Amino acid sequence: MKISRLQNFKYGELYCGPGGMSLGAKKAFVRKNGKRYRLIHAWANDIDEDSCKTFRNNICPNKPKLVYDLPVDEFLTDNILSKLGKIDAFGYGFPCNDFSIVGEHKGMHGSHGALYTYGVKVLDYFKPRFFIAENVGGISSANAGGAFKKICDDLEKAGKGYVLTKHKYKAEFYKVPQKRHRIIIVGIDQRYGLKFKVPAPLISEKDWITASEAIGDGTIPKNAPNNEEWPMSNNVKRRLQKIKPWENAWNATLPPDLRLNVKSAKLSQIYRKLHPDLPSYTLTASGGGGTHGYHYEEYRPLTNRERAKLQTFPNDYKFEGKNLSSVRKQIGMAVPPQLAKVIFVAVLKTFNGIDYPSVSSNLEKETLDLK
C-alpha cells in the first residue's frame, strides 16, 4: 500500500491518565523536505475524574470536551464512537494491576487482565495507521507467558492486521531519571509494508540522569504546583534518620522500636531512600505506609512535584486532585513523557523514511518460543 504522507497524525488515547503519553506525543515531531510532521490530539478517555481534569488543563485546555470521563465500556459505544471522527494513531496503557510485580499477579484471571481488549476494539473500529500499547514488564511472564502471547496475537489480528515490534524499555537509558522498565508494543498497519525499529538508547549508564540532578537544589521553583510536603509522624522521621540512601526498612540498621513487624512479603521499596548519584527506583501509584519514595538527603517522603519530575513532567504541569493521594496515583500510573516522545519520534521517522539508530527487540525471541 502506498504511503500518503500525513503532516498531522490525529491521535486518540484510551486509559489516558493525566497525559504522560499524550504529552510525549504532543512534543514529538520530525522535519523532512522543509515540512514538519507531528501528532495532534483528537480525543482521550479515562474513568478517573481527577486524571481527566489534569489531562484537559494541560493537553487540550482549549478543547476540554475532547476528553471523555467515562467507564471504558460506556465510552466505546457506537453512539460516541461515531462522533469522534477518524484517527491515524492510537495509544493506550491498559491498567496493569494484574501484571505488576507489586500486585497479586493474577494476569488474565484478574479483574483488570482483559481490559486490553477495549484497545483491540478501537483498532477494529478506526483502523489507525499505527498504535502504541504500554504495560509493566511483568506482563510478559503472566500466566506462564500465555497472557502476553494472547495480547500480541489479538493486537496483530486487529483492524486490517498490524506488524508488531515488542520491546522491554529501560527508561533510564532514554533520559528518564528513574529505573522504570516497561513493555511497549508498537504496531503498524501491515498494508504499509513497514516495521518499527526499536530506538537505540540515548545515553549509557555513566550518563544516567541522577535523582539529585532531577530534583536537587534549584531544580524546582518554590512556588511550583503540587509541591506540598506529605504529613509524617515522628516515628517515620526517626526511622528515615537511620536509613541511608538506597537502603530500605529491611536492610537498614534500625533500633527495635523502629523496626517493622511485617510477616508478609517484604517489598524493597518500603521506606527506601533514593540515592543522589543514581536514577530513582520505580515510583508506584499507590500502596501502604512506606511506599511514597523518600528523599536521599532530607528526612521526608518525596513531594508529588518531585515524583512528577522523576517521571519527566515539567515543573508547570499541574496535577488536579481531591487530595495528595489522588495526585500521587496519577503520577505513578503515567507513562514518562520523555520515553513516550522518543518512541513517537521514531514512529514518525519510520513513516517518513528517515533512518535512526536502533537496536534489536529483546522480546521477539521470547514471543516466538511460545508459539
Average pLDDT on 152-179 reads 97
d(CA 286, CA 296): 20
Q: Contact 14/68 with Cβ under 8 angstroms? A: no
CA-closest candidate to residue 306, choices 288, 321, 324, 289: 324
Sort 371 into a burial class: Cβ within 10 Å, 0-12 / 13-18 / 19+.
exposed
Domains in the chain, CATH or no CATH each: 8-203+336-369 (3.40.50.150)
| Higher per-residue pLDDT: 317 or 139 | 317
Percent of the chain with pLDDT over 90: 82
| pTM greater than 0.85 (yes/no) | yes
Q: What are the pLDDT digits (tens) for 233-248?
A: 999 999 999 999 999 9
- Catalytic pick among 16, 52, 96, 152: 96
Task: Provide DSSP, 10-22.
Answer: EEEEES-TTSHHH
Give the Å distances, CA to CA, from 175 to 28, 69, 309: 15, 32, 12
Q: What is the pLDDT averaged over residues 86-112?
A: 62
Average pLDDT over residues 176-197: 97
41-57 pLDDT, tens digit each: 999 999 999 999 999 99
Q: Is residue 34's pLDDT more than 90?
A: yes
Q: Residue 370's closest CA among 109, 148, 142, 185? A: 148
Q: Is 96 a known active-site residue?
A: yes
Tell me the backbone φ, ψ of residue 157, rounded to 5 degrees.
-90, -10
pLDDT surpassing 60 at residue 366:
no
